[in-house]
A and B are shown apart, each in its own frame.
Chain A
């Protein structure tokens, strides 16, 4: 059984007991535990079921590479699935449940899949569930969805908050082990700004567990001294619990800081995403131990050898009373010695190698009385939910059992793989090191930055160095090199001198035993999380999936949440062997960020709730809100769609408002319309290029409606232009068009006509603008008192500055409704006060505020087009019958040349018409008019579509506008519009001006 030892545990504070629950059972751990170490201390080796076969799975590792120990953490607003127990720090009242089993972890019905394993080979799902096709949606997919998946998606709203943080530094060091700290110190001594990220809660990485000395001092003491020295340096930032998640172009690195995962009671954000720009990044990310491939290597109790050591040394936890060590290298001997030192039994070390002479570690193990069996391996592991023993065989054979050794744990080591993920994310290349059987960074092929020079350096074990002396020398050199690369001058100092036990060479072992037969290979796991076995990879190769990227996707090797941290190298070695080619030729799959999964909350950062997106508010926004506004998003603006009164539907409100404008008086908040000041000696010439019609001839004091096209000839905006003085124009744009059209103007001024003397300023938000509309509009303004707004003083399409009710205003006599209408601009800061004053004087005149839907109906009654309804980026002015706005006098304007292209001049373009249903009902917006026959794709031919459609309360029937083939020539014809409701609507083609065609009402 696994248990807490009486002594040991360098990271523990044994006096501080922590209670937590696992699958409803209350357990005890101590401060400093991870969830994994606390579970092991409580003999909870079984922690989950595998993805496909639901096999019992135990804890394998002690770090982020853990594939099995994934749990659901927390509940309700703090619920999160797929959390690794090995990287979850224990806290009081932590609640964890295991995943992927039903009804319970101990008894799982899905485990029947394991009995069917030989019927479920690689690609099983692709092969099995493809026929018959109709079964997929209702039978196969629901079944697979029920059976598959690890944790469950949370249902509650995330109760935590998250944030981003932009950080800049000269040198970023990812990894706070002895290499990272040494590199950081070397860089920081030059004066460079240094940030060091460490994903765990502790500095030093593996060094304090593995031992050795630096400059004669024990390495754990050296780590403490280095950390103290770095803390004292003002140019250094150290962050624990912060993982380097990804390396991107131009020195961009994401760090993932877990602030309150270990202390949920703390205030503040849960996670912080560091968006770092580093001049140079050092990846001191260490190495990960590889499993060995032998039958039953997934039985709970089979663990990585160094992790077994970590649990003993760091957490005072023994994973078993009798632990068999199986290895192909010297490092696992450290585990055997550490367990022996802790008073535990190591019945045997099975070493697949045959060494001519004993290495120092081997000699030490033998001296400690441990039996070492050279040239031996494991034929198979006995036990199902827990290891009960191993069957020993010769590594060179086919698995004939030589003896059985009773044990309750197996510590395996297949060698080490440098963590090259961050080095590789942005293009760092790798080479195959045959001595250590590993891919390691090719430092001559580093990722290149903005200046074309390398911006990432690997250091220490991450760079393929393992002895303490080599690690320190490499880290010191890389730290100094990074500082030099960012413009600092390192002094010529020597690296600290490391001393550690000399190790004998490892020997690659990809299958144990070497000649394992089919039965053994079918029980030999490569990817624990996705249940991929040696036999699956071999089958994939046999079926022609020879590219490592294809084999990965076919078998799902390395595609689980651990992204193959343990399985990839072993898997591609098996693939290489099956393809009879060397490993470098097979290559690796692509390393992609993040290194381990990061929370969606951290990615979103602050952008949630009220600040999910920037909502733009006019000065009268709060008034609208308090007066029943039903909001409509228009770009980032929110505009009242209608002001809904108590007892009304939205539709009722729209009808009431629309009628009231025609009969009495309406107020519209038009502040969102863009307002651009264009000034300069060449302003008229410039506007003549931007608008299709002539603007330079406009007289000061007058207004003119204008159209804008892009160089493709398509309509992009419209609005009223007012000439302020000889050199100054004020151009109105559509709501949401202000920034776009301002940018459009600046683009042409800066990049094409930079010699023209024109300045543009966006004054949209300087003004609150109110449309005062209806037969009583003039009376209302007169009641305000001030400037003369009579027909003679301020005629249609004129503007004037003055005062109204004591407010400084600019009044425009323009109309988008066909009624007597003024648009009054006041300072935005006085917008609400001005609106209040208008409402007050309007009370006697039947005033009502109206929203955007009434605005739309009023303009549609008049046949006025709306950018975004009648236009969609493919419509030109000629389509809309706006020929009158295309100047023939001008040699050039944006879009003029494009209108001559054959497709634009095609007489068969759809043209604007009015549409009236036979029965007065409302045509579905966007409906298409069908024609006879089918097109080349076998689809029904079309001859037009509805662009705007409303019920007009003033006309008492539905009105619509649309674009129709030869439309203006087909007045009176009836078209058929199939709706999505299954009905077909009939509508007659009519003139698009439905109301007051002679314009008598607006020009009074």
Chain B
């Protein structure tokens, strides 16, 4: 697996009002199915080791977790090296249940935005209320950032993790770097 690289080779930008960093390769599995079905829930939970989150929620710890993508879709996070095994096991355990589990780890890029002004940076790019009362740890949001689709959640109180398409990694990294430029703190949160 040494040949596998992230889209930007671990790019970082720590020069601005928040630190931007590309996240190392992260295992991601798209699981589509009836989220109320016990087989689907079991498949998701066994791969991620956490409970299935409700709408708009994510249960993430480290590089494992479950994110609620839509009423019939979860994003399963797991260590990159474990993806193939997990996909196979999920398919096996689902058996004849109508569901789809597919590896999307390499289709994505992921970034963290960290620091006391992380919310400022996010709110420059996404049409979302980032007030601490409105967006908190445990929540998960799919929306757009400037001109591309993204999803994000909070790793802790001043750190966001963002997922975007791999082909748009450079654009998103550059966007975040512009939004984090020095002298641009908004300081309203």
- Indicate whether A and B are direct neighbours in the complex (CB within 8 Å): yes
Query: Is A828 an interface residue, CB under 8 A from the partner?
Result: yes
Bound Cα distance A244, B4 (Å): 50
Bitwise interface map of B from 163 to 189 toward A, beta carbon under 8 Å scored 1, else 0: 001111111001100110111101010
Residues A764 and B107 in contact, CB atoms below 8 Å apart: yes
Residues B3 and A617 in contact, CB atoms below 8 Å apart: no
Query: Is B50 an interface residue, CB under 8 A from the partner?
Result: no
Most A-side CB within 10 Å, residue of B98, B107, B167, B168 = B167
Most B-side CB within 10 Å, residue of A269, A615, A761 = A761
Question: Given contacts A611-B146, A759-B99, are A161 and B178 in contact (CB under 8 A)?
Answer: yes
Residues B131 and A193 in contact, CB atoms below 8 Å apart: yes
Residues in B whose Cβ lies below 8 Å from that of A168: 129, 131, 134
Bound Cα distance A994, B32 (Å): 46
Residues A606 and B167 in contact, CB atoms below 8 Å apart: no
**Contact among B32, B147, B184 for A607, CB-based, below 8 A:** B147
Residues in A whose Cβ lies below 8 Å from that of B72: 759
Q: How many residues of B contact A (CB 8 A)?
A: 51
Residues A765 and B165 in contact, CB atoms below 8 Å apart: yes
Most A-side CB within 10 Å, residue of B7, B104, B129, B178 = B178
Most B-side CB within 10 Å, residue of A195, A618, A619 = A619
Question: Given contacts A163-B124, A165-B124, A610-B174, are A759 and B100 in contact (CB under 8 A)?
Answer: yes
Query: Is A704 an interface residue, CB under 8 A from the partner?
Result: no
Residues A237 and B168 in contact, CB atoms below 8 Å apart: no
Residues B126 and A166 in contact, CB atoms below 8 Å apart: yes
8 Å CB interface, B118-160 against A:
120, 123-131, 134, 146-148
Bound Cα distance A834, B108 (Å): 19
Bitwise interface map of B from 66 to 79 toward A, beta carbon under 8 Å scored 1, else 0: 00000010000000
Residues A266 and B179 in contact, CB atoms below 8 Å apart: no
Bitwise interface map of B from 1 to 32 toward A, beta carbon under 8 Å scored 1, else 0: 00111110000000000000000010000101
Please name the residue on chain B nearest to A257 by beta carbon.
B186
**Contact among B3, B102, B120, B186 for A677, CB-based, below 8 A:** B102
**A-B CB pair tally, cutoff 8 Å:** 135
Bound Cα distance A767, B167 (Å): 11
Bound Cα distance A829, B9 (Å): 10
**Contact among B99, B134, B182 for A267, CB-based, below 8 A:** B182
Bound Cα distance A680, B72 (Å): 14
**Contact among A167, A680, A828, A834 for B166, CB-based, below 8 A:** A828
Residues B131 and A757 in contact, CB atoms below 8 Å apart: no
Residues B167 and A617 in contact, CB atoms below 8 Å apart: yes
Bound Cα distance A259, B183 (Å): 10
Query: Is B63 an interface residue, CB under 8 A from the partner?
Result: no
Interface residue SS majority, chain B: loop
Query: Is A681 an interface residue, CB under 8 A from the partner?
Result: yes
Bitwise interface map of A from 412 to 430 toward B, beta carbon under 8 Å scored 1, else 0: 0000000000000000000
Residues A165 and B123 in contact, CB atoms below 8 Å apart: yes
Residues A616 and B99 in contact, CB atoms below 8 Å apart: no
Query: Is A869 an interface residue, CB under 8 A from the partner?
Result: no
Query: Is B53 an interface residue, CB under 8 A from the partner?
Result: no
Residues B183 and A611 in contact, CB atoms below 8 Å apart: no
Residues in A whose Cβ lies below 8 Å from that of B126: 166
Smallest CB separation, A168 vs chain B (Å)? 4
Residues in B whose Cβ lies below 8 Å from that of A55: none
Residues B183 and A268 in contact, CB atoms below 8 Å apart: yes
Residues A759 and B165 in contact, CB atoms below 8 Å apart: no
Question: Given contacts A166-B126, A807-B3, A830-B3, are A614 and B104 in contact (CB under 8 A)?
Answer: no
Query: Is A113 an interface residue, CB under 8 A from the partner?
Result: no
CB<8 Å pairs between A and B, sample of 26? A166-B123, A166-B130, A167-B123, A195-B188, A260-B183, A269-B181, A269-B183, A275-B127, A606-B124, A607-B146, A607-B147, A610-B174, A611-B146, A614-B146, A614-B147, A614-B171, A616-B168, A617-B170, A759-B72, A763-B104, A765-B107, A765-B165, A766-B102, A827-B4, A827-B105, A829-B106
